[in-house]
Chain A
């Protein structure tokens, strides 16, 4: 037989097949992202110690009862959207200038010389503890952690580029107290408002110091963190985020409801 051309396959129905598959995936795809507020649970305490007295000014208490009524720092609130404003007020009132007469947390301002002195003394402490016979590993660990904390502050102040590092009172915290029957919606709303307050504060500081939005830095850090080729950028962003965290720490306490 003479050689014949192989007949071409008719691909006209390829589109139909692809369409069929496409429609299947179109219908089954859900594009909703899972979003949530990540919080850490305090470690279980084995040794019961009496609770430390905290000055009233250092607590920003947000209460919600079983009838879903809100109270922030002893004041009833009808509109939960205002929580973030109150939290921002609580953070910033004494930030520039301490005023003993008001009911807001104090700020301490530490200079580089003071930080250096603290590093020296805590390092000496830690070394002394290491040389002590029978010292428990936990305590030595704790001492070195203190040194690390001061080292972090030193780094933060360098990046801050000013003479002093303002820092909110170490006991200052936001306290969320709900009742057992409080609707989850309100609890989530409180979390949302807190997140908004922290974001607003850090964003403002970020724009002032770095000329860049907090959201931008955070997003870039999240994207670069796992990328081995972009570690330098990731480290730089990490330092920036650490500074913002020292300026406005997110210390939230969720109190287990009793009734």
Chain B
């Protein structure tokens, strides 16, 4: 007589899936927290150049001490001819009178001032240190960036940032 009882044919026990929602929720929360919502989809196309050792802008974004400005070819190719060198500016977060409208450098001063004035008074940073981040296309002419710089200098917004895609492995 054997000590071990030979068992008859038995179905494999089902795996307990009651903790599956917990796992999925955990992942869900991670992605919910990691997501940042975009303010606006720029109507110019920008392929940033690459660079190393660039400063991470995330802390400034969280404190909303940064305004973005896009410089690239208009997505609507037919309009490219209207602009200097065929490159147009897109100013972030402005109520645009016409959704298809793109701005030239003339609007930068007003835009920057409006954005600064709309910030809550608890934000004590002076306008000199509020960063204006220029996201320019890799083929964009640098002359336009210096035009932007000049406009910013006129209103004492003295911090500029040149956006790149950081390829250094930090």
Residues of A within 8 A of B (CB): 11-12, 14-15, 18-19, 21-22, 25-26, 28-44, 178-189, 191-192, 195-196, 199, 215, 222, 254, 256-257
Chain B residue contacts of A256, Cβ below 8 A: 146, 149-150
Indicate whether A34 sits within 8 Å of B152 (C-beta atoms), given known contacts A180-B142, A257-B146: no
Q: Are A188 and B49 in contact (CB under 8 A)?
A: yes
Indicate whether A36 sits within 8 Å of B54 (C-beta atoms), given known contacts A41-B160, A184-B138: yes
Chain A residue contacts of B141, Cβ below 8 A: 180-184
Q: Could you list some 17 contacts between A and B, CB below 8 A?
A: A15-B20, A29-B35, A30-B36, A34-B56, A34-B133, A38-B131, A39-B161, A41-B157, A42-B153, A178-B142, A178-B146, A180-B146, A184-B140, A184-B142, A188-B164, A191-B162, A257-B142
Task: Kindly state the separation between the CA atoms of A175 and B86 in the bound complex, as whole angstroms.
Answer: 28
Task: Choose the segment among B57-65, B95-103, B109-117 that binds chain A (4+ C-beta atoms closer than 8 Å).
Answer: B57-65
Task: Kindly state the separation between the CA atoms of A250 and B35 in the bound complex, as whole angstroms.
Answer: 35
Interface residues of B in 5-43 (CB under 8 A from A): 17-18, 20-21, 24-25, 27-28, 31-32, 34-36, 38
Name A's interface SS. mixed
Q: Are B142 and A187 in contact (CB under 8 A)?
A: yes
Interface residues of B in 150-170 (CB under 8 A from A): 150, 152-154, 156-166, 170
Residues of B within 8 A of A (CB): 17-18, 20-21, 24-25, 27-28, 31-32, 34-36, 38, 49-59, 61, 71, 85, 131, 133, 136-143, 145-146, 149-150, 152-154, 156-166, 170
Task: Kindly state the separation between the CA atoms of A188 and B54 in the bound complex, as whole angstroms.
Answer: 10
Chain B residue contacts of A181, Cβ below 8 A: 85, 141-143
Chain A residue contacts of B157, Cβ below 8 A: 41
Q: Are B56 and A33 in contact (CB under 8 A)?
A: yes
Residue of B nearest to A64 (CB): B142
Q: Are B59 and A35 in contact (CB under 8 A)?
A: no
Name B's interface SS. mixed
Chain A residue contacts of B21, Cβ below 8 A: 11, 14-15, 18
Contact of B52 among A28, A185, A192 (CB under 8 A): A192
CB distance from A199 to the nearest CB of B (A): 5
Task: Kindly state the separation between the CA atoms of A18 and B31 in the bound complex, as whole angstroms.
Answer: 12
Contact of A36 among B27, B150, B154, B161 (CB under 8 A): B161
Q: Are A15 and B139 in contact (CB under 8 A)?
A: no
Task: Kindly state the separation between the CA atoms of A174 and B61 in the bound complex, as whole angstroms.
Answer: 29
Q: Are A36 and B164 in contact (CB under 8 A)?
A: yes
Indicate whether A34 sits within 8 Å of B143 (C-beta atoms), given known contacts A40-B158, A183-B138: no
Contact of B57 among A18, A36, A39 (CB under 8 A): A36
CB distance from A16 to the nearest CB of B (A): 9
Q: A185-B139, A196-B52 given. 11 additional CB < 8 A pairs?
A: A11-B18, A19-B24, A22-B24, A29-B34, A34-B163, A40-B159, A181-B142, A182-B142, A183-B139, A192-B52, A196-B53
Q: What 4 pairs across the A-B complex have the smallest Cβ distances?
A: A180-B143, A192-B51, A36-B161, A25-B31
Q: Are B166 and A33 in contact (CB under 8 A)?
A: yes
Chain B residue contacts of A37, Cβ below 8 A: 51, 54-55, 161-162, 164
Task: Kindly state the separation between the CA atoms of A32 and B20 in the bound complex, as whole angstroms.
Answer: 29
Contact of A195 among B53, B71, B131 (CB under 8 A): B53
Indicate whether A222 sits within 8 Å of B142 (C-beta atoms), given known contacts A39-B162, A188-B49: no
Chain A residue contacts of B51, Cβ below 8 A: 35, 37, 188-189, 191-192, 195
